[in-house]
Amino acid sequence: MTHLSPKTDPKLKTDLELAFEDNRLAAQLYGEYDQNLALIEQRLGVEATPRGNHVLLRGTSTGVDQARRALESLYAALEEGRVLVIADVDAIIRVIEDEDNQLTLPTMEKKGKVRMAQIATRKATIVARTPAQDGYMRAMEKRELVFGAGPAGTGKTYLAVAHAATLLERGDINRIILSRPAVEAGERLGFLPGDMKEKVDPYLRPLYDALYDMMRPEHVERGIATGVIEVAPLAFMRGRTLSNAVVILDEAQNTTSMQMKMFLTRLGENSKMIVTGDPSQVDLPRGERSGLVEALDLLSGVEGVHISRFTDRDVVRHELVARIVRAYEAVGAQKNQKTQG
């Protein structure tokens, strides 16, 4: 890959021509019908004109520089054998924009190529799509207790299950334990029909779905049958010491203070805990403080604990989900102001 000398015209616009060595990879870089270039143009306010294996960038110096770094990073990913999708382009743009807003990550060289964290299992490779996801994924490798707090659609649970799956495949742990409090939108297990498994499964379905995305179905089913993968409500954790495992507590905003303390003190040798939840979506009875909210306050700064906080900017499901989250957060902020006033 080479850069041709930039030119600056009287309107303070900058021109920069990039040349990519591999024509086949250049075509993949541009995307079908040049959709990747179109997204870069839209988001960074530049013109990106492909000419064979060359791309002419035109715009403000800032926009052109950001587009250059995005294209170079994406091309490097293609050289490593990755398959590029439009979400990857969006992810790179987000990271570069945050980097220039001085939200730099220690894993990124200033103004250089962006290398996002990855989680690889035999079935799938997951690449971080936002700076918060990048920090979260790296923290799960290094820390014994990691909290992922933020709105729906940010990948908190999905990435936690992916991390657990890869550690199991590597032989770093002996089992995966997935749990949720059995409180959802005011309902409790005792009021639901069926035996315990039939009552519990609907609450744990998102965890099953993530497992099947990360591992072959037969491996998941064999793991559940042998106890290597355990999926259980939070109440089943009491009195246990959980060793040689990754233990994930999902929807943790619906734990009470006592439940959260009970769960966190189950941590055993060679184990990791990942706690995920959305503090703004508490379904506990009115007046009862969320165990997640309390833990985030109490454990901030404690050695060995990492807290990753996600916002609507980290929503990766659909752009509309991010707008929905922002709308609800705005209403919540107005209510808080009225309460404080």
Q: What is the DSSP letter of 156?
A: H
How confident is the model at residue 277, as a pLDDT?
94
Question: Nearest CA to 96 among 48, 44, 45, 59?
Answer: 44
How confident is the model at residue 80, as a pLDDT?
84
Question: Nearest CA to 133 among 111, 160, 108?
Answer: 160
Helix spans in the chain (H): 23-30, 35-44, 61-79, 86-100, 131-142, 156-170, 196-214, 217-226, 257-264, 291-298, 319-340
The pairing of strands 175-180 and 229-233 is parallel
Contact 52, 23 (CB under 8 A): yes
224: left (phi over 0), alpha (psi -120 to 50) or beta: alpha
How confident is the model at residue 187, as a pLDDT?
43
CA 233 – CA 156 distance, rounded (Å): 19
Residues 6+ apart with CB under 8 A from 213: 123, 124, 158, 162
The pairing of strands 187-188 and 145-149 is unpaired
Q: Which token pair is 253?
A: 């905003």
Question: Could you report the per-residue pLDDT of 171-217, keeping only the tens digit for each?
Answer: 999 999 998 887 543 445 554 455 555 655 666 777 888 888 888 88
Contact 131, 103 (CB under 8 A): yes
Q: Which residues are registered as beta bridge partners of 234?
A: none
Residue whose token pair is 């990550």: 105
Percent of the chain topping pLDDT 90:
39
Q: What is the DSSP letter of 237?
A: G
Residue of higher predicted confidence among 102 and 21 = 21
28-34 LR contacts (CB < 8 Å, sep 24+): 28/78, 28/84, 29/71, 29/74, 29/75, 29/78, 29/84, 30/55, 31/84, 31/86, 31/89
- Tell me the average pLDDT across 273-281: 93
Domains belonging to the chain, first-starting first, are: 2-100 (3.30.1370.10), 118-340 (3.40.50.300)
Question: Could you report the per-residue pLDDT of 107-166, keeping only the tens digit for each?
Answer: 444 455 567 788 888 887 888 888 889 899 999 999 999 999 999 888 899 999 999 999
CA 92 – CA 66 distance, rounded (Å): 10
Q: Which token pair is 290?
A: 């969320």
Question: Nearest CA to 117 among 100, 101, 129, 102?
Answer: 129
Burial (CB < 10 A; 0-12, 13-18, 19+), residue 44, is buried
Question: Could you report the per-residue pLDDT of 288-329, keeping only the tens digit for each?
Answer: 899 999 999 999 889 999 999 998 888 875 556 556 766 776
Helix axes 35-44, 86-100, angle to 10 degrees: 20
Burial (CB < 10 A; 0-12, 13-18, 19+), residue 207, is buried
Give the mean pLDDT of the chain. Answer: 82
